[in-house]
Structure formats: structure tokens, C-alpha cells
Amino acid sequence: MTATAPPESLVDAPPVLDVRDLSVTFRTETGSVSAVDGVNLSLAPGEIVGIVGESGCGKSVTAMSLAGLLPRSARIDGSVRLQGQELVGARPSTLRAARGRDIAYIFQEPMSSLNPVLTVGRQVAEVLQVHERLSRREALERAVELLALVGIPSARERVKHYPHQLSGGMRQRVMIAMAVACSPKVLIADEPTTALDVTVQAGILDVLRDLRDRFGTSILVITHDLGVIADIADRVVVMYAGRIVERAGVQRLFDRPQHHYAAGLLSASPTPGRHAGTHRLQEIPGLVPVLEAQPDACTFADRCPAATARCSSAAPPLEPAPLAADVGDHPHEVACWHPRGDRPRPTVEEHA
Amino acid sequence: MRGYLLRRAWQSLLTLVLATVVVFLGVRALPGDPALALAGEDRTPEALAAIRREYGLDQSLPVQFWRFLTNALQGDLGTSIRTGQPVSSMLRTALPVTLELSLLAIAIAVVLGVGAGVVAAVRRGRPAEWVANALALLGLSVPHFWLGLVAILYLSVATGLFPASGFVPVSESVAQNLHHLVLPAVILGTGLSAVIMRQTRSSMLDALSTDFVRTAEAKGLRPRAVIGRHALRNSLIVVVTIVGLQLGGLISGAVVTEQIFGLPGFGKLTIDAVFQRDYPVIQAVVLVTASSYIVINFAVDLLYSIIDPRVRVTGDAS
């Protein structure tokens, strides 16, 4: 993987977030579990990057590990630099100062992610009181502005409400207001729309995009929903069993997926027009494996339609995809011994 | 909220009346005749009949009950058969002692129990948790009459740090008053604090693994704010319930503790009254105890709505 030119060399500004060789291992009662293995990732200023994969492929663990939000049973190796500052192994006070101010989070379930016994205004104000040393009154005043900013109507009344008095979409807007209160450089949105109605999802994604456009916030969107990726991301990273298996510009990935896992994900998602009529959506057989240690093999080999003996004997490195066509603005890399090459996105029949 | 309060008040009143009936009948079901106890040596039928007439014991039970109820509503709880004093004035001297003892014990129990519970949850799997757990186990399993005796033996008799018995009213000397009450309050509070500690620990462990605590951490809040404002506040809902339920036990515990430390409180009044078949006093004591239960339950319900805004809404709706 190290042979690959890092993608950030293609953009002008240095990355705000630079993740190198990140690995996360959990100690459990039955032994250790490797959740993330050798992940390299960078976020340019104002860039929206999506991490996509099935449940259990390590995308959320990656996100949580960035600001050290994992439980004590997690061991994090590698490097996470936020505006040049190393966060892996940093002191708790350093992490606290960064959290909420430079790197902020939005979680999947806005009902359980908000404290049920505090007003939403108070919860937004808290961040400002800690990081910007505002008084409680000033912070509440700012909270009203922030709620209005993320599109909550009659924000002045809403600050006095408790989470259970708001709808799911409004709660997620509160989460966003809380996350962007101190204008963080990096916003990590872990399944930000998964728990919401489809009609509400679009509104939330609009808010995120608007924040990027207005404040130049870099956003890392973690999702299993390719629709969200297509809607909002500039680049996409596909993870499988704790490793990055492919990354590319969004359009490129949708047109020419190289990894068979990425191709499988695409044909498992409904797309208007593509599967019109009688075709069933294609599923990927099997489940994401739980690994005690990362093997020197392709972890997708068991489920892959193109697997050969080589796939089970050596792990493929993440390398530029063998494509004749121009790669576009973003490098297209894949970790596969038998990439799909110039073949277009699979049809249903091809996988069936 | 108002409808809810009215309904609760009505329920409380009903409970109180039922408690009164039960007590009234219960006391009279006790073996023994107060007239015999009062008559002393002079047990002639005439003397007994005179005593029964004087205290209204010759009337039918419904009549006796009605007189008790109507008098009680006017603040007249009758006259003690044993001392001849008005029961209400006996209550007035005894009640403050027990009230102060119980409040002190609760305060000690809540501070110790919540504190130790939080430490045990936050320091999970470390020595601090083992210490807290061990102390809680001790507090739960050691009966407090024994603990009280040991405390008197070592802290009062052997070293003279605390008085072994007796009571000084607050009106005479606050320092003296506290000096007399600290030991019994600690003894009384230990059992309760152990229960509170166990409860706080488990609900804190739940709270610490919730999504909103993770959110609080992701905001960059200090551990103190994460634990206190976010985790503990949510845990308190359970803790308040437990404290409310345990208060009943505290009142009966106070009876024993008062007896050991010779405090002239409610417990002593009750025990003396029961031994002497002092009907009016027993009735009054139970009436007051039942009322305080009801008041406590009511207070706990109100506390819920302060701690948990979701309860406020349910209260409005139903």
C-alpha cells in the first residue's frame, strides 16, 4: 500500500485530517478482534468523503477511533493527524480540546444520542461554554442562531424543548447544530440519515452540504447507503472487514467499480431505471467475517465470484486501478488481484 | 399537571383513611386489655368498668372509630392511657427527634451511596470499585442494631468521642444536638447507603454506555460534566425511586436505632405504647407514619417530574 502516491498530493491545500496506517484491535473475553487494519485516509479542506460498507466492516470503528471515542478495550495503532496534530496516544486534555472544537460528530440515532433530561438549547450551548468560554446566557443565544442555521423553525422556542418533544429530523438537526457550534474543521457523520424517513434524509444532507459550502467544513460520511454517497460525497472509500478495498471519485466508482465487493454493493442497491421491471436486487452471499487477526489474504475471497487460489494466499495491496480511461480528479485505487478493469458496472445477470 | 396533582391527593386521602381503619382494628386485635394494664392492683370489675367508660372503651367499635376519626380531624388525637398527657403534645416532642434523625440519615446515605456508586461505576474493574463493592456488601449484611452496639462500645464507651445515649433539642444547642445524633444517623444511614450505592452503580453503568454520554464525550466536555450532568442526572431517576421505597425501611429502622441510643423519638414512643396497650398513642403514631409514607411517595413523584422532563408530559396527558 505504501507504494501508492497519497491522494492528497493531488489537491492544493494540505489535508485537514490525515490518517496513516490506522489499526484498531478490541480485547474481548474470548480473545482479540481486529476491527480496522492499516487504513490510510485523508480529508482535504471542504471535501466530503464517504466511507461505505456493510455492517461490521469497520467503518464506524474507524470514525470513532479518530477522536479516541472507542472504549478502553480498544487498542489504536497508527497515526491520526488533525491539522498536523497527532491524536493517537494524545493526552486526554488534548483530545478533549480537539473534540467538539476541531473535530465533531453526528451519530446515527438522534433520539438516543441526545440527553433526554436536558433541553436541546442547553445541549448545544454546552459545547460553546466549554470551547469558547461563553457564559450560559451568551451560549444559549448562540444556540438559537445555530438551530436557525440548520433549518429549525422558531428556534427561539425550540431551544427550550426537550429531545422527546421534537421529530426525528429536527433532533438530527439539533445534533448537527451541536456539532458545528464551534465551526469544526472536520465533521464526522456516522450514518446521519439511517434512522430517518427518506423525505427527511434529503433535508439533512442539504444541511450538511450547505455547511461545507459556507464554512469549508470537511465532512466524513459513514454510511451503508450508496444513495447517500451518490447524493453528497466527492470521493468514496469502500471498506471491507477492516480494510480499504477501493477508493475513487464517486462517479467513477458508480461507473467502473473495480473491486468485486464494491460491484456487489452497487448491484445490491436499487437504482432508478437500472433494475426496472422484473429483476430482483442482487445480494452478496455470506457475511462480513469477524477476524481475530488480519490474514495475509483477501478477506473477501470467500464471497467473491472471481476468487482464485492467489486471493487466499496473499493480501492484495491498494494500487491504482488498471483502467484505460482517465481517472478524473481523484485517484482510483483498488485492492484486488483480479480487478474488474474497464468492464462497466455489473448488470443483474452477470452476478446471477 | 393540576389534574394529576388532584388525582394524587384524592388517592392519598383514600390510602390514609384505609390505613386508619386497619390500624384501629389491628390495635384492638392485640392480645391484652388496656383497662387491665391501667388498673394495676385494683382489678375489681367496678374499677375496670370505670376505666373503660372513661376512655370510651365500652362503646361499640364503629362508635369508637367514628369518635377517633372526628377528633383526629380536629387535631385531637386523644389522651394517652399510660401518661394521661394529650397524645398530640407527646407527638410534638417525639416527632422532631425522629424527623431529624431520619433526615440526617438520608442525607448521609445519599451522599455516601451516590458518591460510592458513581466511583464504582466510573472506576469499573479497578481497586476503587472493589472497595466500594466490599463496603456496600458490609453495609447490606451487617444488621444496624449490631453496628450500633459496636459503635457505642468503641466510639462512646471506650473513647468517649460521642455520647452513648440521650438527646439535646436543637433549640438548646445545635452543636450538642448534632453531637448526639451523628452516630445514630450514620448507623441508620449505612444500610440505606449500601442500597443506594448498588443502585447508583448499576444505573450509572447503564448511563455511561448510552449514546448521549458518547455524544457528551464527543463534544469535548470534561469528565466531571460528562459524569455529573449527563450520566448521573439520568441515573438519579432510578435512585430516587429506590430511596423513596427504602424510606419506609428507614422509619422502622429508626425505631430500633432510637431504642439503642436512647433517643426520645417516635420509635421509643411506639414501643412503649405497644407494650402498654396505649391505644390512642399507637393509633396516632401509625396515623403519622402512614401520612409520612404518603407524603414521601408524593414527594418522590414530584421529584421524578423535576429530574425527568418526559414524566411531566405523561402527567399532563393522562
| DSSP states along A77-105 | EEEEEETTEE-TT--HHHHHHHBTTTEEE
**Coil, helix or strand at residue B144:** helix
**In B, which residues are within 8 Å of A127 by CB distance?**
219-220
Q: Is the pLDDT of residue A293 over 80?
A: no
In the predicted model, is pLDDT for residue A304 greater than 70?
yes
A164 contacts in B (CB within 8 Å)?
309-310, 313
Determine how β-strand A333-334 pairs with β-strand A319-320.
antiparallel
Q: Please give the pLDDT value at position B220.
A: 92
Q: Is A97 on the interface with B (CB under 8 A)?
A: yes
In chain A, residues with a C-beta closer than 8 Å to the C-beta of B129 are none
pLDDT for B312? 65
Q: Does position A4 have pLDDT exceeding 80, yes or no?
A: no
List of chain B residues whose C-beta atoms are within 8 Å of the C-beta of residue A105: 215, 218
Average pLDDT, chain B: 83
- What is the per-residue pLDDT for A137? 94
| Chain B nearest C-alpha distance from A114 (Å) | 5
Helix (H) or strand (E) holding A333: strand A333-334
Measured in angstroms, the CA of A310 and the nearest CA of chain B are apart by 42
* Interval B180-190: pLDDT, tens: 888 889 888 88
pLDDT-derived band at A7, boundaries 50, 70, 90: very low
Percent of chain B with pLDDT over 70: 97
Q: Which residues contact A158 (CB under 8 A, 6 or more apart)?
A: A120, A121, A147, A152, A166, A170
Tell whether the model's pLDDT for residue A349 goes beyond 50.
Answer: no
pLDDT tens digits for B154-206?
888 888 788 877 788 877 888 888 888 888 898 888 888 898 999 999 999 99
What number is the average pLDDT over the span A45-63?
90
Contact B220 A109 (CB under 8 A): no
Q: Which three cell numbers stand for residue B173?
A: 444547642
pLDDT of residue A185: 93
Question: CA A52 to CA A34: how far, in whole Å?
Answer: 18
Return the HEC string of B112-137.
HHHHHHHHHHHCCCCHHHHHHHHHHH
How many Cβ atoms are within 10 Å of A97's Cβ, its own excluded? 16
pLDDT value at residue B301: 79
Q: What percent of chain A has pLDDT over 70?
A: 90
Query: Quick check: A144 contacting B, CB < 8 Å?
Result: no
Residue range A244-285, pLDDT digits in tens: 999 999 988 988 899 999 988 888 876 655 544 555 667 777
Name the residue of chain B whose CA is nearest to A94's CA.
B220
Q: Which of B209, B213, B217, B219 is best to mutate for the A interface (most A CBs within 10 A)?
A: B219
* Other C-beta atoms lying within 10 Å of the C-beta of residue B84: 7
Q: Which of residues 171-210 of B touch A (CB under 8 A)?
A: 210
* The pLDDT value given to residue A6: 40
Of A92-106, A226-240, B275-289, which range is least confident?
B275-289
Mutate to test the interface with B, among A70, A113, A160, A187 (most CBs of B within 10 A): A113
Which chain B residue shows the shortest CA-CA distance from A115?
A: B212
Cβ contacts (< 8 Å) between A107 and chain B: which residues?
A: 211, 214-215, 218
Best CA proximity match to B98, nearest among B226, B263, B212, B230: B263
Q: In angstroms, what separates the C-alpha of A69 from chain B's closest C-alpha? A: 7
Strand partners, A99: A103
Are A100 and B214 inside 8 Å of each other by CB?
no
pLDDT at A325: 66
Q: What is the pTM of this model?
A: 0.78
Each residue of A122-143: pLDDT tens digit? Answer: 999 999 999 999 999 999 999 9
A124 near A85, Cβ under 8 Å? no
CB-based contact, A162 to chain B, within 8 Å: yes
Instruction: Among B218, B221, B225, select the one facing A69 at the smallest CB separation.
Output: B218
Q: Kindly indicate the confidence band of residue A221, based on its pLDDT and cuts at 50, 70 and 90.
A: very high
What is the predicted pLDDT for the residue at A76?
Answer: 93
Sheet bearing A218-223, strands edge to edge: A103-106, A186-190, A218-223, A48-52, A235-240, A243-249, A333-334, A319-320
CA distance B297 to chain A (A): 22
Counting residues of chain B whose pLDDT is more than 90, the rounded percentage is 14
3-state secondary structure of B207: helix
The alpha carbon of residue A349 is apart from the nearest alpha carbon of chain B, in Å, by 42
Q: Does A275 touch chain B (CB under 8 A)?
A: no
Q: Residue A162 — φ and ψ, nearest 5°?
A: -95, 155
Q: What is the pLDDT confidence band of residue B316, given thresholds at 50, 70 and 90? A: very low
What CATH architecture applies to the domain A1-102+184-277+316-352? 3-Layer(aba) Sandwich (3.40)
Domain ranges for chain A? 1-102+184-277+316-352, 113-183
Spell out the domains of chain B, with CATH numbers in brackets. 95-314 (1.10.3720.10)
Of A69, A116, A175, the CB nearest to B217: A69
pLDDT at A277: 52
Whether residue A113 and residue B307 make contact (CB cut-off 8 A), yes or no, is no
Question: Mean per-residue pLDDT for B128-138?
Answer: 87
In this predicted structure, the answer to whether residue A3 has a pLDDT above a threshold of 60 is no
Among A336-340, B132-136, B238-242, the minimum mean pLDDT is found in B238-242
Q: What is the pLDDT of residue B108?
A: 92
Instruction: Say yes or no: B308 contacts chain A, CB-CB below 8 A.
Output: yes
Cell numbers describing residue B186: 450514620
Residues B4-7: contacts with CB within 8 Å, 24+ apart?
Answer: B4/B315, B4/B316, B4/B318
Q: Mean pLDDT, to the nearest integer, of A231-241?
A: 93
**Average pLDDT of the segment spanning A214-230:** 92
* Alpha helices (H) along B74-227: 87-122, 127-141, 144-151, 174-208, 211-218, 223-225
* Backbone φ and ψ of A51, nearest 5°: -110, 125
B212 touches chain A (CB under 8 A): yes
Alpha carbon A22 to its chain centroid, in Å, reads 15
Predicted-complex ipTM score? 0.84
Q: Which residue has the higher pLDDT, B317 or B39?
A: B39
Assess A122–B contact: CB distance below 8 Å, yes or no: no
pLDDT in tens, B231-252: 998 888 888 887 877 776 777 6
Task: Test B215 with A105 for CB contact under 8 angstroms.
Answer: yes
A109, A116, A131 ranked by CB distance to B220: nearest: A131
Nearest C-alpha in B relative to A188:
B218
Q: Does B124 touch chain A (CB under 8 A)?
A: no
Assess whether pLDDT exceeds 60 at residue A39. yes
Asked if A203 and A151 count as a contact pair (C-beta separation under 8 A), the reply is yes
- Cα of B129 to nearest chain A Cα, Å: 16
Out of A13-17, A143-147, B162-166, pick the least confident.
Answer: B162-166
Q: Tell me if chain B has a CB within 8 Å of the CB of A20.
A: no
CB contact under 8 A, B215 and A116: no
Give A347's pLDDT tier (boundaries 50, 70, 90).
low
Say yes or no to pLDDT of A41 above 50.
yes
**Mean pLDDT, residues A310-331:** 82
Instruction: Measure the CA–CA gap between B85 and B97, rounded to whole angstroms.
Output: 19
B2 Cα to chain A: minimum distance (Å): 21
- All residues of chain B having their beta carbon less than 8 Å from the beta carbon of residue A98 are 220
Task: Output the pLDDT for position B205.
Answer: 92
pLDDT of residue B142: 85
